[in-house]
Amino acid sequence: MTGPELTTHLAARTTTMAPVVSGDPAAAAPLVIARPPTERDLAASLPVAEKVRLLSGADSWRTHDCPSVGLRQMVTSDGPNGVRGATKDERNPSACLPSPSALGASWDADLVYRLAAALGAEARSKGIDVLLAPTVNLMRTPLGGRGFEFFAEDPVLTGGLASAFVRGVQSAGVAATVKHFVGNDSETERWTYDARVSESVLRELYLLPFEACVRVAGTWLVMAAYNKVNGSPMTENLRLLRDVLKNEWGFDGVVTSDWHAARSTHATALATLDLSMPGPEGPWGELLVRAVDEGIVTKDLLDDKVARLLRLARRVGALTQPAVQLAPGDASGRAANDRVIARTTNGQAPALVDAGLLRHAAAESFVLLRNADDALPLDRSAISRLAVIGPNAVSPVIQGGGSAGVTPVSVSVPADAIRAELPDHVQVSVSAGCQTWHTVPDAPPGILTDPVTGTPGLHLEFIDREGTVIAAEHRASANLAWWDGVPDGIGWGKPGRVVLTTSFRPRESGSHLLSVAGVGSLLLQADGVTVIDGVTAVPDDPVEAMTRPGELRAGISLEAGTPARLRVEFLPAAGGEGPLAVRLGIAPVAEDDDLLAAAETAAAAADAAVVIVGSAELTESEGFDRPTLALPGRQDELIARVAAVNRNTIVVVNSGMPVLMPWAGQAAAVLYAWLPGQEFGTALADVLLGQAEPGGRLPVTIPADETTVPVLHAEPGADGVLDYSEGLLIGYRGYDAAGLAPAYAFGHGLGYTTWDYESVECARWLPDGGDLELSVRVRNTGGRSGKEVVQAYLAEPGDPARRGRPVRALAAFAVVRAAPGESAQVTVTIPARAFARYDESLASWITQGGEFTVQVGASSRDLRLTAAVRLTALSSARPGRA
């Protein structure tokens, strides 16, 4: 790891406090102490019932206030690819960042820090105190539905970038929440599965990024996951929460539950869970008060939870008395202190992350996998006809599904952005090529009209059981969700209905598909005629009530320009859980055969074809894993047919995780664009036309087929057990151990220039902890300035594969940039921990003597330089740095 993540930011802060004078004397016993009160003193001053009240949420996103100790409510919001706020609402849009797998592909901790700092500032400006990000689970399987929210398949890359993310967010005085602790690496049965994973594998892989975020970056919260690890639910996992996270790593922040993950009173409280979210219900409340009265949960343990919450409040500026006094030179603390002084920007527009930074970051994440005959960048002077093809060229997927999703401020559509960047004389044709959607797409903006206001969108009403309208408003979006804030009488199992009315003006004549989605009873009338009347099932995972609620469809024939009056009625199901959501979808019926043929014709008539394929809206989401690595729909066929008629076919893959690319050898170039956030189009135009270099390298192996993937499906057995029997051999470690070739190796990526690796030297052992500094010299041998990601892998002495250990593992990395012909020297620091392994019998990290080999290169399969490092003794490695 290199870059800012190595700096320690746990500098102790001294605090001085005036005695508490404000508040309700009945609620708080008077404090009589000679020194300024600590958070612990404040906690101890509160009655038990008040302490317990503070430890469950006030609603879906807020904590409780406690004026008697100067505590205001703290507001949480999901991340990581944006800060949504406490509502999902098109009137409250957010900057949409590249998803974490894209940031993983940048391998650039400085860039991640800058983005996260800007995200923190946006959060702050929206009154958010706690960002529920970053997600630092590992891409154990490429099918993981939430893999787009993870940085990488490797813990060192994940830990390095996630630490930068934490420091960036917290530099704005907003708390980061490292999640989901631990073993939530896949989604199937995530609420209940039991990850069986050995202690050494936990330590060396899955815990490592958490450890880095705690010990190196000083995160202020950790979120306990839904799943179990080795038989114990993570919210009740005494050993991992108390012994490892708090006692061993010294975590002094708050452990929050994942939402609804606290499912017991005593076990969670005793395991040192600090905060049960959301609220106001939950397993604590009265039951926890009783447990304290009965001595099952000690007052001391209760005070520790409250003190941690108050410490968090102080850090984010939610504890008004007194202000933070800074340790000298503590920049992140300074920002926090500024927040204490000038907390709110009420009434001002939110400080959205700068679009230019988002555009740059997306380009830095794009990975050029293949570039035969320098097909890219396109030579704009040699092109007079360009065919832009593919479902994602016109309907890009900028983010994954689930809690991370935001309503973006804007979306740069690839086809439009490419057109805009080309001179007027270039003819650009645009064709979708095929359809990939899983649910009927939302009606495009501008095609619906609110019958009450006459403006684009729809009229929303909440109607009680007597048929009285209890609330109504205009909405621009036909895809709505609520956690809180719906009127009484509306909700799961309640009698009230949600009603949408709108007028739809079709752009073309012919058959259209209409759909309504939501968990419960759904009715759709078109011009007064009922076309849908049915009930959808309650999903297993509550998040699916929002991400993929049951959908009912009907076909209807419409005339272009003749409006149809649509009315949707939604009665939420009894037994439903999670966010309340309802959606209206509309799409003209199109035949794939026709779309494919049109794309082929366009490609044949063009000088070059850019085919933008990838995930559809619901291919990748929280709540479920993908069933296959194949691209959805007939996209493989589309590419093959286009490449057969146009030898300058450039394929762009818009997926957050790996897909199979059976056509890769037929394409002139293949560019992986991930889920790149709102600036997809502008960044893509920059890269295709050469204004920017594709700066990314793979943070995950791209498989050649499904049979050789080290871990493919992640379905627990009938007993709920998910066996991590592959041990340390996930991702490239698994391919290397088995001697199998992936399609594209971990770390691979071409860029627009070439590099020679000239030398590596073991420069010195750093005195404080035994980290090893390497000095690597590379030279830009190509024709333009560029970025190289220098990767250092470490191979253990002897034959590690025979011991089930990786042949080599990433130990450190650094970004280097140089002009054509120039050489650059970069320092890459291998942490002492990279030389150690976790010995289960000793319950400790140990470093084996012998000859280690450092291999330096451009990917895990393109190693250009080696150096030997001899360690003489068996020793206990200093665990100070992950």
Q: Does 258 interact with ligand BGC (rule: CB under 6 A)?
A: yes
Taking the C-alpha atoms of residue 257 and residue 509, their distance in angstroms, rounded to an integer, is 51
Identify residues 861-880 at the interface with ligand BGC (CB under 6 A): none
Q: Print the binding letters for residues 212-251 with ligand BGC: x by CB under 6 A, - otherwise.
A: ----------------------------------------
Question: Which of residues 117, 132, 432, 490 is near ligand BGC by CB under 6 A?
Answer: 132
* Nearest residue to ligand BGC, by Cβ distance, number only: 403
- State residue 764 phi and psi, 5-degree precision: -170, 155
Measured from the CB atom, the residue of 516 and 722 that comes closer to ligand BGC is: 722
Contacts of 739 (CB under 8 A, 6+ apart): none
Which residue is it, tokens 């011009």? 527
Catalytic residues: 258
Token reading at 176: 């980061």
Least distance between ligand BGC and beta carbon 545 (Å) = 11
Identify residues 384-413 at the interface with ligand BGC (CB under 6 A): 403
**Burial status of residue 682 (CB atoms within 10 A of its CB: 0-12, 13-18, 19 or more):** buried
Least distance between ligand BGC and beta carbon 690 (Å) = 38
First to last CA, the chain: 9
- State residue 417 phi and psi, 5-degree precision: -70, -40
Identify residues 783-812 at the interface with ligand BGC (CB under 6 A): none
Least distance between ligand BGC and beta carbon 77 (Å) = 9
Instruction: Find the DSSP H helices in 126-252.
Output: 155-171, 199-201, 208-211, 238
How many residues form the binding site for ligand BGC (CB under 6 A)? Answer: 7
- State residue 845 phi and psi, 5-degree precision: -75, 135
Q: Does 130 interact with ligand BGC (rule: CB under 6 A)?
A: no
Measured from the CB atom, the residue of 9 and 179 that comes closer to ligand BGC is: 179
Measured from the CB atom, the residue of 255 and 289 that comes closer to ligand BGC is: 255
Least distance between ligand BGC and beta carbon 258 (Å) = 5
Measured from the CB atom, the residue of 258 and 796 that comes closer to ligand BGC is: 258
Taking the C-alpha atoms of residue 436 and residue 453, their distance in angstroms, rounded to an integer, is 34
Complete edge-to-edge strand list for the sheet that includes strand 862-871? 809-818, 786-795, 850-859, 862-871
Q: Does 210 interact with ligand BGC (rule: CB under 6 A)?
A: no
Q: What angle do CA 38, 40, 41 make, to 5 degrees?
A: 65
Token reading at 314: 């102080």
- State residue 239 phi and psi, 5-degree precision: -65, -45
Identify residues 611-640 at the interface with ligand BGC (CB under 6 A): none
Specify whether the backbone of 385 is left (phi greater than 0), alpha (psi in -120 to 50) or beta.
beta
**Burial status of residue 267 (CB atoms within 10 A of its CB: 0-12, 13-18, 19 or more):** middle
Question: Which of residues 140, 167, 179, 805 is near ligand BGC by CB under 6 A?
Answer: 179
Measured from the CB atom, the residue of 224 and 729 that comes closer to ligand BGC is: 224
Q: Does 543 interact with ligand BGC (rule: CB under 6 A)?
A: yes
Return the H-helix or E-strand segment holding 857: strand 850-859
Least distance between ligand BGC and beta carbon 134 (Å) = 10
How does strand 385-389 pair with strand 427-431?
Answer: parallel
Contacts of 721 (CB under 8 A, 6+ apart): 193, 194, 196
Question: Which of residues 193, 259, 672, 845 is near ligand BGC by CB under 6 A?
Answer: 259
How does strand 194-196 pair with strand 228-229?
Answer: parallel
Cβ atoms of 579 and 88 within 8 Å: the answer is yes
Taking the C-alpha atoms of residue 132 and residue 546, their distance in angstroms, rounded to an integer, is 18
Q: In Å, how far from its chain's centre is CA 877?
A: 32
Measured from the CB atom, the residue of 76 and 479 that comes closer to ligand BGC is: 76
Q: Does 416 interact with ligand BGC (rule: CB under 6 A)?
A: no
Identify residues 70-129 at the interface with ligand BGC (CB under 6 A): 78
Contact residues for ligand BGC, defined by CB under 6 A: 78, 132, 179, 258-259, 403, 543
